[in-house]
Amino acid sequence: MSYVSLSGLSAAQLDLNTTSNNIANANTYGFKESRAEFADVYSNSLFTNAKTTPGQGVQASSVAQQFHEGSSVYTNNPMDLRVQGTGFFAVAKDRLTPNMNELTRNGAFHLNKDNYMVSSADEYLLGYNVNPDSGQVTSYEPKPLKIPAEFGKPKMTENITLGVNLPATGEAKDPAAFNFEDPDTFNRSTSATVYDSMGQSYKVTTYYIKDQNTPNNWQVYYTMTDGEGEKALNIDGGDASTPGGHAGHTMTFNNDGTLASVNSGQPVNTVALGSNVPPIDLNGADVNQVMNLNVTSTTQFAAPFEMTAFDEDGATTGFLSKVDFDEYGSVIGTYSNGKSVTLGRVALARVTNEQGLDKKGGTQWASTQNSGDKIWGESNKGAFGSISSGVLEQSNIDMTQELVDLISAQRNFQANSRALDVHNQLQQNILQIR
């Protein structure tokens, strides 16, 4: 009888410890509650009657973790991630050995000093390389996710697309009187930024003048601001020139307001910065830079002046300003040069038997033979679930149920203690018989 009571005490103590651990981790992100499971001990021999053998007590069968999902807590940190589904994040302690990794549901990540995404324990979050153009995964070999602090080499501006609506009712002016320093000599102007081969930026301003000499004609001139100030920017082959030699181009419109021709039909509409007069100071950049101007989307409708199209293909070096994640787990970096780049995709993994995972602490698990090998995938595909940004998964503890279980385990402990005490009293009575 004493052995039966002792096994009951041990079982009740294990139940108390399991429940206490659940309660202690009620606020641990990604924590999964455990449940103590027990089995009876039964043994007999050839010399005992099985019908009257009461059993030999209880034994711990396992402490099984319950992998149902916890509730969500919303944060203001886009690097806080949660998996909604059966997938796990994968983290590696060593950046150079990503194949040695463990699974976790705790998605509280941040950038370390080397711009790798790491957990609160400084373990590296694993992800996949993607094609920056298509956004598709190029290899399902998980590697530490790194967010570059800088993106892209400087690229000189080679092509500028500029479209505006020039009001048909605009006031006609004399193009020969144009002076970019005198706003009374032109109708409207627009400004844009272009870049040289070193990524240095310059302001290019476009000036529009409705020609009083020719109906449906507008004269267009450009300036460029360098370190010395605003200078005339001359068009190669331009057919609109001021007496001072500022060469622009002529845009002629049809009666329906659409563009009929530029430069009287001549194909040349480029700017060679190195040979510009006056010269543009490029501060050591490539003096052979040529910019092609495309203004074919310009119109002359009876509507207010409006910029309808603008694009230029130059860029300066960008510095990381923001990190976002989409529903597919793609890491999208936004840089100061206006570029948004898909930098990688968060890897997800799952196993066939979650109960076979080996608990490692720190809300992490390792795969075993019982769990099966890791199956690698990504968000929103198959049975891996989906990734949400700015959200963390809370522990799946039901505090009310845990407190009830705690009381039940305490009662079991007290009952087995009482049984052991009764057995001791019986032994004392037997020893006192004379």
pLDDT for the residue 237: 73
CA 296-299-305 angle, to 5 degrees, is: 125
* Least-confidence region, from 206-210, 254-258, 333-337, 410-414: 333-337
* Omega prior to 148 cis, within 30 of 0: no
Q: What is the pLDDT of residues 175-197, one digit of tens each?
A: 999 999 999 999 999 999 999 99
Please state whether beta strands 159-165 and 290-294 pair in parallel, antiparallel, or not at all (unpaired).
parallel
Q: How far is residue 178's CA from residue 44's CA, in Å, rounded to a whole number?
A: 113
Q: Report if pTM > 0.75.
A: no
Q: Is 132 left (phi over 0), alpha (psi -120 to 50) or beta?
A: alpha
Report the pLDDT value the prediction gives residue 53, as an integer from 0 to 100: 60
Extents of the domains making up the chain: 2-68+398-431, 72-151+330-393, 159-312
pLDDT grade, residue 434 (50/70/90)? low
Asked if the model's pLDDT at residue 394 lies above 90, the reply is yes
Query: For residue 134, what pLDDT band results from cuts at 50, 70 and 90?
Result: confident
pLDDT at site 365:
96
Across the strands, what pairs with 397?
none
β-pairing verdict for 290-294 and 270-272: antiparallel
pLDDT of amino acid 413? 87
Four-residue CA torsion sign, 332, 335, 340, 344: negative
Q: What is the pLDDT of residues 23-37, one digit of tens each?
A: 999 999 999 999 998
| CA end-to-end span of the chain | 24
Q: Are 431 and 13 in contact (CB under 8 A)?
A: no
Band (pLDDT 50/70/90 cuts) for residue 271 is confident
Q: What is the mean pLDDT of residues 117-140?
A: 92
Structure token digits, residue 343: 């930098």
pLDDT digit string (tens) for 305-362?
Answer: 999 999 999 888 888 889 999 989 999 998 887 778 899 999 999 999 999 999 999 9
Angle at 163 between CA 157 and CA 166, to 5 degrees: 140
- d(C-alpha 122, C-alpha 392), whole Å: 18
| Contact call for residues 210 and 186 (beta carbons, < 8 A) | no
What's the average model confidence in pLDDT over 53-75?
A: 86
Express as a percent the part of the chain with pLDDT over 90. 68
User: In the predicted model, what is the mean pLDDT of residues 278-303?
Assistant: 93
Mean pLDDT of 281-308: 93
pLDDT averaged over the chain? Answer: 90
Percent of the chain at pLDDT above 70?
Answer: 95
Looking at per-residue pLDDT, the higher value among 47 and 279 belongs to: 279
Q: DSSP string covering 284-318, please? A: TS-TT-EEEEE-TT-B--SS--EEEEEEE--BPPE
C-alpha–C-alpha distance, residues 282 and 275, integer Å? 12
Query: According to the model, what pLDDT value does residue 255 have?
Result: 95
Question: What is the pLDDT at residue 185?
Answer: 96
Residues 203-227 pLDDT 10s: 999 999 999 999 999 999 999 999 9
39 DSSP β-pair partners = 59
Q: Is the pLDDT of residue 267 over 60?
A: no
pLDDT of residue 122: 95
Q: Which two tokens stand for residue 112?
A: 């370390």
Nearest-angstrom CA–CA distance, 418 and 410: 12
Is the model's pLDDT at 291 over the cut of 90? yes
**Domain range 159-312, CATH class:** mainly beta
CA distance 132 to 47: 77
359-377 pLDDT, tens digit each: 999 999 999 999 999 999 9
- Rounded Cα–Cα distance for residues 220 and 49 (Å): 111
Reported confidence tier of residue 430, pLDDT bands at 50, 70, 90: confident
Phi-psi region of 122 (alpha: psi -120 to 50; beta: other; left: phi over 0): left
161 versus 240: which is more confidently predicted? 161
CA distance 78 to 252: 51
Give pLDDT, residue 265.
67
HSE, side-chain direction, 13 A CA sphere, residue 358 = 11
Residue 48 has pLDDT above 80, yes or no: no
* Cα Rg of the chain (Å, integer): 38
State mean pLDDT over 82-110. Answer: 96
pLDDT at 258 over 90: yes
- Residue spans of alpha helices (H) in 343-398: none
